[in-house]
Structure 1
């Protein structure tokens, strides 16, 4: 049997972590001396501790490690490792998205495109016929992809588009993910609905938040096709 200090040196795991694993139930001492209250570990527990450290280093939390230790077999562990791989890939993707947004923000700051003041007001628009594309996208930054798609669709089909384009956000509140966005471009004539694009009439006297902005942080579509989007952004909840 090994005292906790000896076991720590042997396994190269700190005493603090051994006590933590004891408190969380991941690795209880083999026995506790009833006279000195010293924690005592057995040689057989070295393999158990190695498995705990292995999973910890891969990003498993205490609950996940406990479940893995309880059902340790090749099939179960392989499944848990695959789940962790997918989780880490998602975290990497989220981090890459943040890095991309940081680079966009840095570029806009250098080019003095980011406005320091935003004037929010209510604006009405008259009833109009629009070419609409509505989709649930991953986040607000994905709106630019919708405008690129509409730009390509309009060019391909020879559809003239007014420069008074706007965006409708159908969610009742701000969302981190799964944003319900509809982009609208007024048109002078209607065609057959196709490829997810719809012609519809926006009712008159719709009250819209009108937020002037000077950054192209969210927009990457072609300005010559949809020029108004570089200067303003309209949001509303029109059902």
Structure 2
């Protein structure tokens, strides 16, 4: 048998927590010395302690843990629950990393305020372009993770549908966003993922929309290098150029992002052209 101190060390929990587990009947010691009151545990109880700790890490309260243990959750169920929790934690970690990157980028923007070079902003005419597209609804610009989560899955799905229909893309992927409010004050947006397809026939029911993005007579454009989570850097550069050169944006805009070079998983190496419709 093991003293409570040794058992706590082996199980990587505190002695205080083991005493609490004993008090609520969740994990009583195997033996209590009648004279000294010392608690003693067996090696086999580490299995139960491991389950308790795992269920707590899943977010269950101690009363819920007690119920699950009483119901004898088997190893397979527990493994599945832990894998689900792991996936949730990994997703949250990705969101946190994205937020940290955005904070760092905005700090850099603050540091260079008043010294931003707008010399690489180019005024272009963007001809009409026929595209295949899928769309989804995102919470809004205040929640960039919502935009990413809703937009990103559209591209592989669109590629599958186009391949199934024998429709080939003829240019770089495009994204654009349009307001989609359902009530006053609602900042919901519709995100559109598109591939240029030229004059290709798409059939009667290809599973995607075929639309013609209208001509943009004048677009202020600039290349954005890096993750799109920092797109506001290039957005501010374009905004400064628009103000400095006597232009204004055109509503509803149809501002677009054209993904020129996007190595999978290497977001810091992405090259995207941002296009903002403007007029004198």
Q: Normalising by structure 1, report the TM-score.
A: 0.46
Q: Normalising by structure 2, report the TM-score.
A: 0.41
Higher RCO, Cα 8 Å, sep 6+: 1
